[in-house]
Amino acid sequence: MTLPDPVRLAIPIFVLLIVAETLWAWRRGRDAYETRDTAASLVMGLGNFGLGFAYGGIIVAASAWASQFRLFDIGFAWWAFVAVFLLEDLIYYWFHRLSHEHRFWWAAHVNHHTSQHYNLSTALRQTWTGNLAFTWTLWLVLVLVGFPPALVAFQKGISLVYQFWIHTEAIRRLPPWIEAIFNTPSHHRVHHATNPRYLDRNYAGILIVWDKLFGTFVPEDDREPCRYGVVKNIGTFNPLRIAFHEWADIAKDVARAKSWREGLMLVFGPPGWRADGSGLTSARIRAFARENDDRRNAAS
């Protein structure tokens, strides 16, 4: 069975929505877009598309090889589309969480968070090195279970298309039942924020229920507006720097490591980890924020 590529079909819609959001921001006098920032995001998106096309043969070959060892022959029954929707979304949650909690995979993902603006063009600021970090191997689990590789690829495309529209400030809140089940602009703004209480939260692809199930959900609080970017903003619009800056920093840190264990932690430990405990990991940043809140509460 031949399935369409959802991402390619959605590209004209992406363009129209970006134009619409730009007009919305202009009419309201909002500084939603910055020309150089948007250009950088578009270049990152084009690079991701080109590199993905070049690397795609390897993923197709690996999926075909894994399919030989499948436990079941699921096929394209209607229920297979429902099952792969749920299971692929669960895998995406863990892929996304892995990409924030371990520096090696964060290096491939961080570029998506480097914009200090939050708009639909930010959704296009995609990785150039994700495939080289082998995160795609997580989806081979679905192929080994018995889902056809074409069905897995189709659902991955659906997830990517869905996640485009949630990169906006034009939509504040949706009906409560939607906010309770699905990933929404409100939930994803939290994910892109650098506020301590928002750091490394809301990893959802389509369904926010995974974050609620695994304890990583934090709702957006209108009393605490989201500040976007990364903890230490890189201050550049250069796509090469955006794509490779964390890999370069890892290489520098490992070169200065005093032991093999320190070297491994600098690669696979949490982003910001340092052997002397001075690093700004997300957990440490949140702990500092709680201590400051406790002191302010005690003083009042």
Q: State residue 298's pLDDT score.
A: 74
Q: Give pLDDT tens digits along the chain (300 positions).
A: 789 999 999 999 999 999 999 999 998 888 889 999 999 999 999 999 999 888 889 999 999 999 999 999 999 999 999 999 999 999 999 999 999 999 999 999 999 999 999 999 999 999 999 999 999 999 999 999 999 999 999 999 999 999 999 999 999 999 999 999 999 999 999 999 999 999 999 999 999 999 999 999 999 999 999 999 999 999 999 999 999 999 999 999 999 999 999 999 999 999 999 999 889 999 999 988 888 876 777 776
pLDDT number for residue 163: 98
The per-residue pLDDT for 278 is 87
Q: Are 146 and 73 in contact (CB under 8 A)?
A: yes
**Cα–Cα–Cα angle for 30, 289, 218, rounded to 5 degrees:** 60
pTM: 0.95
pLDDT at 232: 93
pLDDT at 208: 98
> Dihedral angle at the C-alpha atoms of 52, 55, 58, 61, nearest 10 degrees?
50
- Determine the pLDDT at residue 139: 98
